[in-house]
Structure 1
Amino acid sequence: MDNIIYKGEGERIDKFLVGHFGYSRNFFHHIIKRKGICINNKPIKKSYKLKNGDNISIEKLERFITGEVLEDFAYIDLEILKEEYDYLVIKKPKGVISHPGSIWDVSTPSVVGFLYQKYKKLPSIGNFIRAGLIHRLDKETSGPMIIAKTEKGLSHFKKLFKEKSESIGIQQKEEVPLKKFYTAECTTTPNGKSFLDQIELPHYIQEIVYPKVPNIRKPKEGITKILSKQNKGKNIILFIEILTGRTHQIRYHLSSKGLPILGDYLYGKKDDHKLNLECSRLEFLDTNNEYIVVDI
Structure 2
Amino acid sequence: MAENRKEFKRPPKRYQPRGLTILYEDQDILVVDKIGGLLTIGTEKIRENTAYFLLTDYVRKGNLKSKNRVFIVHRLDRDTSGVLVFAKTEDAKRYLQDRWPEFSKKYYAVVQGTLPEKEGVISSYLAENRAHRVYSVADPAKGKLAKTGFRVVKESKSYTLLEIELLTGRKNQIRVHFAEKGHPVVGDKVYGEKSRGARKLALHAASLTITHPYTHEKMTFETQPPAFFKSFVAI
Q: TM-score, normalised by structure 1?
A: 0.59
In structure 2, distance between residues paired with 1:275 and 1:211: 21
Q: 1:231 to 1:81 in 2, by over 3 A?
A: same
User: Is there any run of 5+ residues in structure 1 with no aligned partner, and where?
Assistant: 1-74, 124-130, 165-175
In structure 2, distance between residues paired with 1:283 and 1:221: 22
Any conservation in 1 of the 2:152–2:160 contact (CA below 8 Å)?
no
Q: Report 1:29-68 matches (<5 A).
A: none
User: Aligned with 2:149: secondary structure?
Assistant: strand
Q: Which moved more, 1:210-219 or 1:113-122?
A: 210-219
The structure carrying a bigger strand percent of its residues is: 2
Any conservation in 1 of the 2:118–2:152 contact (CA below 8 Å)?
no
Question: How many aligned residue pairs are there?
Answer: 191
The structure 2 residue matched to 1:285, chosen from 204, 211, 223, is 211
User: Aligned with 1:265: secondary structure?
Assistant: coil
User: Aligned with 2:192: secondary structure?
Assistant: coil
User: Aligned with 2:78: secondary structure?
Assistant: coil
Q: 1:122 to 1:99 in 2, by over 3 A?
A: farther
* Structure ranking higher on relative contact order (CA contacts 8 Å, 6+ apart): 2
Aligned match of 1:97: 39
Matched, 1:106 2:52: no
The structure 2 residue matched to 1:248, chosen from 172, 186, 190, is 172
Paired AA for residue 100 in structure 1: G
Which has the greater radius of gyration? 1
Q: TM-score, normalised by structure 2?
A: 0.73
Any conservation in 2 of the 1:212–1:266 contact (CA below 8 Å)?
no
Q: 1:180 to 1:212 in 2, by over 3 A?
A: farther
Deviation at 1:245, TM superposition (A): 1.2
Paired AA for residue 138 in structure 1: D
Q: Deviations over 1:65-118 (max 9, x none)?
A: xxxxxxxxxx7352110112210101111110000123x4213x1001111211
Matched, 1:147 2:86: yes
In structure 1, distance between residues paired with 2:23 and 2:183: 31
Sequence identity of aligned pairs in percent?
A: 28
User: Is there any run of 5+ residues in structure 2 with no aligned partner, and where?
Assistant: 1-16, 61-66, 135-141, 224-235
Deviation at 1:259, TM superposition (A): 1.0
Any conservation in 2 of the 1:210–1:252 contact (CA below 8 Å)?
no
In structure 2, distance between residues paired with 1:200 and 1:237: 11
Matched, 1:206 2:123: yes
Deviation at 1:214, TM superposition (A): 2.8
Q: Report 1:257-272 matches (<5 A).
A: 257-270=181-194, 271=196, 272=198
RMSD: 2.3
The structure carrying a bigger helix percent of its residues is: 1
